[in-house]
Amino acid sequence: MRIVIALGGNAMTSSDGSARPEHQRDAIRLAARPIADLVAAGHEVLLTHGNGPQVGNLLTKNELTASQVPPVPLDWCGAQTQATIGMLMLNALDAELAERGVDRRCAAVVSRTLVDIDDPRFAHPTKPIGRYLSAEDAQPLIDSGQEFVEVPGRGWRRVVASPEPLRCLDGATAETLMEAGYVVVCSGGGGIPTVQDLNGGYRGVDAVIDKDLTASLIAQELKADMLIIATDVDAVVCDWGTDYAKPVGEVTAVEMRSIAADQDFAAGSMGPKVEAVTAFAESGTGTGVITSLARIGAAAEGQIGTRVVPA
Ligand SMILES: Nc1ncnc2c1ncn2[C@@H]1O[C@H](COP(=O)(O)OP(=O)(O)O)[C@@H](O)[C@H]1O
Ligand SMILES: NC(=O)OP(=O)(O)O
């Protein structure tokens, strides 16, 4: 099978979101294990990943050092996270594949995602990035003009614009590498947000794209058999956090739309994941799955997770 796997921040950093290098290295090494198992089982795998904690940290570092080093824009920060996380993933995947005696090369593609400069989402920041702050620590930053949201139970987080991903500009490169036998890391952090100018050229813009939505797009573009969104829960849960909580198993895309209309899944966390797998199933190429990282092997075999199948 051709499988696109999106790794969430929960699979790549510590739970406090601080994104210390040693935590990222350890978490990515753990994440590489079930992925290497899928590759060893003969599946064609394209991996993508989030970058919220990392891109937020880079942006803050830029701002703190602006008087000494010229700050770089947010799209540059996004590109930097693709390189750093891509490097960690290549090291981790190479090691896990070697342990299994699998002779496959891995490659990470610096990848851009086309967005529309007139997308209204530029005017209404929704994408949480960086560390969780206390209300006290967030207030001076809010006073200085930054936008924050409160994430219930975890604290305050900066939000930036998050336009809709329209096309993976480097998807063809990723596909060529996959067809040549590579395990490919692509469209990290949702891809570097890029617009097309009137003269036909491309340029990056200040935003962070939701990686689950881009994962759905690339899975559709590559006609994947399966899109797996790997996070830290085994399934989507209806009536989350209540006495009536109930996991969603296998449903059609039509059924998932109806459940989502009823449940109002959280923006910035479960909402985009549900949208991503449903849109993928609606495209008719394969099944969209949401499950925990540890369960992706069972998910690929159709045994577990929230599975959204074409109607
Ligand atoms: N209805 C729901 N079902 C399951 N998990 C939910 C639901 N609503 C919110 N969540 C939360 O969403 C989290 C996963 O989203 P998020 O933290 O954004 O993932 P990631 O960083 O792995 O991409 C889970 O840890 C869970 O706490
Ligand atoms: N870009 C993005 O969606 O990152 P996270 O998954 O880390 O929020």
Q: What is the pLDDT of residue 200?
A: 86
Q: What is the pLDDT of residue 271?
A: 94
98/182 same-domain check: yes
For residue range 15-51, what is the model confidence (pLDDT) as tens digits?
666 778 888 898 899 899 999 999 999 999 999 999 9
Closest residue CA from atom 16 of ligand 1: 269
Is position 163 within any domain? no
Read off the pTM.
0.95
11/111 same-domain check: yes
User: Of residues 8, 130, 171, 211, which has the active-site annotation?
Assistant: 211
189/212 same-domain check: yes
Q: What is the pLDDT of residue 10?
A: 67
d(CA 237, CA 258): 14
Q: Which atom of ligand 1 is nearest to the CA of 6?
A: 23
285/188 same-domain check: no
Is position 110 within any domain? yes
Cβ(256)–Cβ(281) under 8 Å?
A: yes
Q: What is the pLDDT of residue 67?
A: 93
Point out the domain boundary residue: 189, 224, 259: 224
104/8 same-domain check: yes
**Active-site annotation holds for 61:** no
pLDDT higher than threshold 80 for residue 178 = yes
Is position 137 within any domain? no
Q: What is the pLDDT of residue 152?
A: 80
Nearest ligand by distance to the CA of 24: 2
For residue range 258-294, what is the model confidence (pLDDT) as tens digits?
999 999 898 878 999 999 999 999 999 999 999 998 8
Q: What is the pLDDT of residue 122?
A: 97
**Active-site annotation holds for 273:** yes
Point out the domain boundary residue: 224, 249, 272: 224
- Sign (positive or negative) of CA dihedral 288, 278, 208, 215: positive
d(CA 171, CA 193): 14
- Coil, helix or strand for 292? strand
60/8 same-domain check: yes
311/189 same-domain check: no
Q: What is the pLDDT of residue 293?
A: 87
Which range marks the domain in which residue 240 is found?
225-311
254/193 same-domain check: no
Joined tokens for residue 280: 């993928």
Distance 211 CA to ligand 2 centre (A): 5
210/275 same-domain check: no
19/60 same-domain check: yes
Is position 161 within any domain? no
Domain count, the chain: 2
Is position 309 within any domain? yes
Give the residue, out of 5, 51, 82, with the most ligand 2 atoms within 8 A of its beta carbon, to mutate for a pocket test.
51
For residue range 190-234, what is the model confidence (pLDDT) as tens digits?
999 999 998 889 999 999 999 999 999 999 999 999 999 999 899
Count of H-run helices and E-run strands, the chain: 9, 17
Point out the domain boundary residue: 183, 205, 224: 224
d(CA 238, CA 266): 11
Question: Using a 6 Å cutoff on CB, does residue 211 contact ligand 2?
Answer: yes
Question: Using a 6 Å cutoff on CB, does residue 8 contact ligand 2?
Answer: yes
Distance 196 CA to ligand 1 centre (A): 33
